[in-house]
A and B are shown apart, each in its own frame.
Chain A
Amino acid sequence: KAGVTQTPRYLIKTRGQQVTLSCSPISGHRSVSWYQQTPGQGLQFLFEYFSETQRNKGNFPGRFSGRQFSNSRSEMNVSTLELGDSALYLCASSGTIPYTQYFGPGTRLTVL
């Protein structure tokens, strides 16, 4: 089975711009979660989607949003980028019980 894929792998943006990241889960997995990883903050949960509905949400501002399509692929969007948004954004998919999460390689976002 192919793993979780994320595109693009690297991204450089400037403050004020917006960005869209994409995640394709493992085939058959219907849950997709997004995390922000920074050196000082570890893995910070952004949100989780299941069957096109947001099921869980972390404590991030409304500039961070996401969606899931009928084929379980997911996108997350960050609007009005700030320097502090520079991070590795990880996507994880999970299938049935146990809800073990399988991570993609991440998208490295740099905001200048």
Chain B
Amino acid sequence: DAGVIQSPRHEVTEMGQEVTLRCKPISGHNSLFWYRQTMMRGLELLIYFNNNVPIDDSGMPEDRFSAKMPNASFSTLKIQPSEPRDSAVYFCASSLFSGASSGYTFGSGTRLTVV
């Protein structure tokens, strides 16, 4: 199993540009989570999906952020337009949801730098 695959690993973009981060969850997992990590705020849950349906997006910081999961094997997190304060490491995680005892598998993250 290749684990959770995120792309790209690094992204540098100019302020105002659109950025799309991608995630392929582990095959068979039915829950997917997007997190953001900064030194100041630590790991923050942005949004999560269950069976491809967004369940809770209360962590999405602004309307500039959007996430989709068109099928069970792919999800995107889009920032449009990007701002320097969006610079962070973005992690995707998946789990075979079985309630509060589920274990998550995280990807290696995408380091986003907005200049």
- A and B are partners in one complex rather than unrelated chains: no
Seen from chain B, the residues whose Cβ lies within 8 Å of a Cβ on chain A are none
